[in-house]
Amino acid sequence: MPHTMSNLVNNKNNRRDIQFLRAFAVLSVIFYHFKIPCFNGGFVGVDVFFVISGFLIFGQIDARMAQSSFSLIEFFEARLRRISPALVVMIAIVSIWGWKYDLPKHYIGFVRNALAAVFFVSNYSFNGAKGYFDIASDTKVLLHTWSLSVEAQFYVLLPLLLIPLYKIKGLNLRYVLFGLMTLSFFFALNLSYHSTPSLAFDWKTSGFYYVSSRSWEFLAGALVSKITFINVTDRKPWWIIALLGLFSTVYFLDGSYSWPNLLTLLPVGFSSIFILLFSEHQNNPVICFKPFQVIGDMSYSLYLWHWPVWIIYNQMYGNQINSNEKILMLCIVLLLSYFSWRFIELSFRNKKLINRKKFFLYLGTSIVAVMIFSSVVLVTKGYPKRFPDYVVRGFEQGRIPTPRNECFRSGNNTKKAQEQFCSYGISTKPEDAKMMLWGDSHANQYLSVLNSVSNELGQTGLIATMSGCRAFIENDEFKYEDYPLCKAFNHEVLNYLNSHPNIKTVILGRIWDEGDESVDRTVNLIHYLVGHRHNVILITPLPNPGVDVENDWVVKQLEAGHAIETIPIVMSGDVKLSTVIPKLRNRLSNELNTNQLYLLDPTQRFCDEKSCFEVRDGIPYFRDMSHLTELAAQRLEPDFEEALLWADKH
């Protein structure tokens, strides 16, 4: 007699397929984050988790509602028992480490994210700054909690949606699930492929974190639980195809594009097919393999602990991690996860051991403790007194603000200053300006030295800088994929330059990488500017320290127990981004030969013949992973003086 999948959901003896799928999902995510070869698309493990959750949770609700025995209180209690205790313990242990090693500004960010995580809103906490795939993500120790928040929000929405639907007689729930899934899917596509100016910083990343754009993945699992099982005589080719499909998504996909998108149908689809095929075929030797079943059991704790271990190890020892270190970290993750699963997860799921009253007492006490501790950290601004004086001296140097910071535009293209473009140098009148600084925060970091040199030389310039927005020109020939507010800003700058011929020189700065796109954009822009009778001063790449320098300096000094005045970086092509300048010289040879372009190379001030430096003579050169401190920027005064004198002559 045909039956639906929901009849199988609560039978634990038939859930070996789900445990295998959980193991696949968590290992994919871990290996992706640990940068294991062939797992470039391992982030799809989260999509697989969402399908599993939708399948199981809907199946449980559906079965209980069919028996008129569903209870919202029991449902939410079960979900909290599953998620909260291990999460709170992980946050507490990480906070102890952060108390010892995290800079005040980082620790403030951590406790804010911790509060968001325990209240299951961290997906919104991380949305709107930098994307999940951005390098800045490697400083956020609780970043992975975004998916727990999405799950928790779905757990709240699903029963509240289903309760009234079950009261409608004759309603075919399959059609409702399919309709809602379709709406959510197209909403996700809209965020991924269409610009949305209201999403201030990066419209592409917002779909990654929204429950509304992720619900379709849960609903795909829910729909599977309502599909009538169809007997397939020969399953072997089909389950092999499903497995190969899952592994192919991990191997072939990567994080170079917005997510979720059309390709997300692959992991979601193959996961759904996998559950369909294995629902009554639980003795398959592949899925019954004991290590997979154990990893499936521990999958939640493994997910909780793998990211903090990775981030903390990076902060302690740098991000140049070899294979042996990765194996060590995996062993640490397994050990922590085992204790988390064995002594926290299983204990709190056992209602005989911890009844409802005790559970909510423990949970409430833990949340109140997190709130009190977070309040203390926020009120004391990270409590810098926890560090020795020699450590405080170091990070205070990195806190010296850039002058005219009110003129630097945030990612939503707003600034505190009223002027369209603020001035620097000897005059406050825009009409006196003969040059303009244009670019992102890596251009703005030179403003202090540019301002001081301009004052000495009696010159005036304008500030056109915006967070995360590289300078580029876009027209019919060159179209770039950037968030709309960045395009609008660059268009505004270009219009200003075209309508103000008094701006003779444009100073360009940006964050660089060794990919061709950063060179292509810069070359195209310089061709345009020179063609419109502007001279250009181009600031070439800084050394790449590879770590958050402030934090690295703190850790090294605390481990040594004394002040450290100098920290070298072993010279390499990656550190100096050595391929960029030759590419620029080759493609801009005409502009260089005709003296319309000046290359200002800051590397020489922060490197010698053997090494570049994070810290030298007690001065930190960087305030994070890539931005100069104000004291370091002042070392470039002779270079900017030479560049501005060149501009004055041409």
Q: What is the pLDDT of residues 156-189, one digit of tens each?
A: 999 999 999 998 888 889 999 999 999 999 999 8
pLDDT at 460: 96
Q: Is 92 exposed, middle or buried (0-12, 13-18, 19+ CB in 10 A)?
A: middle
Contact (Cβ atoms closer than 8 angstroms) between residue 287 and residue 327: no
* pLDDT at residue 360 in the model: 95
Same domain, 278 and 131: yes
Write down the residue that tokens 């209240």 correspond to: 119
Domain-embedded: residue 395: no
- Asked if 60 and 208 sit in the same domain, the reply is yes
Residues 506 and 404 in one domain: yes
Instruction: Give the residue among 519, 540, 530 at the shortest CA–CA distance from 600.
Output: 540
Closest to 145 (Cα-Cα) out of 34, 311, 363: 311
CB 314 within 8 A of CB 47: no
Q: How confident is the model at residue 195 (pLDDT cuts 50, 70, 90)?
A: very low
Domain identity same for 455 and 323? no
CA dist list (Å): 465 to 535, 537, 594: 18, 15, 28
**pLDDT over threshold 70, residue 346:** yes
- Whether 357 and 405 map to the same domain: the answer is no
Task: Answer positive or negative: Cα dihedral of 141, 143, 144, 146.
Answer: positive
Instruction: Give the mean pLDDT of 189-208.
Output: 57
The pLDDT confidence band at residue 560, using thresholds 50, 70 and 90, is: very high
Do you find a cis peptide bond into 260, omega within 30 degrees of 0? yes
Are residue 20 and residue 133 in the same domain, yes or no? yes
Pairing of strands 505-509, 567-570: unpaired
228 falls in which pLDDT band (50, 70, 90)? low
DSSP 308-359: HHHHHHHHHH-S---HHHHHHHHHHHHHHHHHIIIIIIHHHH-TTTS-HHHH
For residue 18, the tally of other CB atoms under 10 A from its CB is: 22
Alpha-helical segments (H) within 67-172:
72-101, 104-118, 122-126, 145-165
Tell me: pLDDT of 201 over 50: no
Percent of the chain at pLDDT above 90?
Answer: 66
435-439 vs 460-465, strand pairing mode? parallel
Q: Looking at the 3D structure of the chain, how many domains does it have?
A: 2
Looking at the fold, whether 330 and 446 belong to one and the same domain comes out as no
In the prediction, which pLDDT does 401 show?
A: 74
Mean pLDDT over 110-131 rounds to 84
Confidence of residue 196 (pLDDT cuts 50, 70, 90): very low
CA–CA separation, 415 vs 538, rounded Å?
Answer: 25
Domain membership of residue 419 (yes or no) is: yes
What predicted TM-score, i.e. pTM, was given to this entire model? 0.83
Residue 353 included in any domain: yes
152-166, 330-344, 565-579, range with the lowest pLDDT: 565-579
* Domain final position from 316, 332, 362: 362
Domain that holds residue 486: 400-542+577-606+630-649
Residue 349 lies in a domain: yes
Residue 341 and residue 404 in one domain = no
- Asked if 43 contacts 29 with a C-beta cutoff of 8 angstroms, the reply is yes
Span of 358-362, 393-397, 432-436, 522-526 with lowest mean pLDDT: 393-397
**Which pLDDT tens digit goes with each residue over 64-112?**
998 889 999 999 999 999 999 999 999 999 999 999 999 888 899 999 9
- pLDDT at 440 (0 to 100): 95
Predicted confidence at residue 518, as pLDDT, reads 87
Measured at the alpha carbon of residue 207, what is the angle toward residues 201 and 209, in degrees to the nearest 5? 90
What mean pLDDT comes out for the span 24-30? Answer: 97
- Please say which residue of 342, 362, 382 terminates a domain: 362
Q: Does residue 325 sit in the same domain as residue 429?
A: no
Mean pLDDT of the chain: 88
| Mean pLDDT value across residues 216-241 | 77
pLDDT per position as a tens digit, 570-610: 777 677 788 899 999 999 999 999 999 999 999 989 998 88
Which of 312, 334, 362 terminates a domain? The answer is: 362
User: Does the structure show a pLDDT above 80 at 276?
Assistant: yes
Residue 10 has pLDDT above 90, yes or no: no
Residue 320 in domain = yes
CA dihedral 414, 415, 419, 423 (to 10 degrees): -130
Confidence of residue 138 (pLDDT cuts 50, 70, 90): low
Tell me if 184 is assigned to some domain.
Answer: yes
pLDDT of 234: 56
Residues 6 or more apart whose CB falls under 8 angstroms from that of 375 comprise none
CATH number of the domain residue 467 falls in: 3.40.50
Least confident of 116-130, 131-145, 262-276, 445-459: 131-145
Q: Is residue 47 in a domain?
A: yes
DSSP string, 32-91: HHTT-TT-TTTTHHHHHHHHHHHHHHHHHHHHHHHTT---HHHHHHHHHHHHHHHHHHHH
Collect contacts of 338-343 with beta carbons under 8 A, ≥24 apart: 338/298, 338/301, 340/86, 340/89, 340/90, 340/301, 340/304, 340/305, 341/86, 341/297, 341/298, 341/300, 341/301
Domain-located, residue 547: no
Residue 15 pLDDT class (50, 70, 90 cuts): confident
- Asked if residue 294 and residue 226 are part of one domain, the reply reads yes
Same domain as 350, residue 261? yes
Q: How far apart are CA 257 and CA 510, in angstroms?
A: 22
- For residue 135, what pLDDT band results from cuts at 50, 70 and 90? very low
> In the predicted model, is pLDDT for residue 288 greater than 80?
yes
Distance of alpha carbon 232 from the chain centroid: 42
Hey, how many other C-beta atoms are within 10 angstroms of the C-beta on 406?
11
If asked whether residues 171 and 279 sit together in one domain, one would say: yes
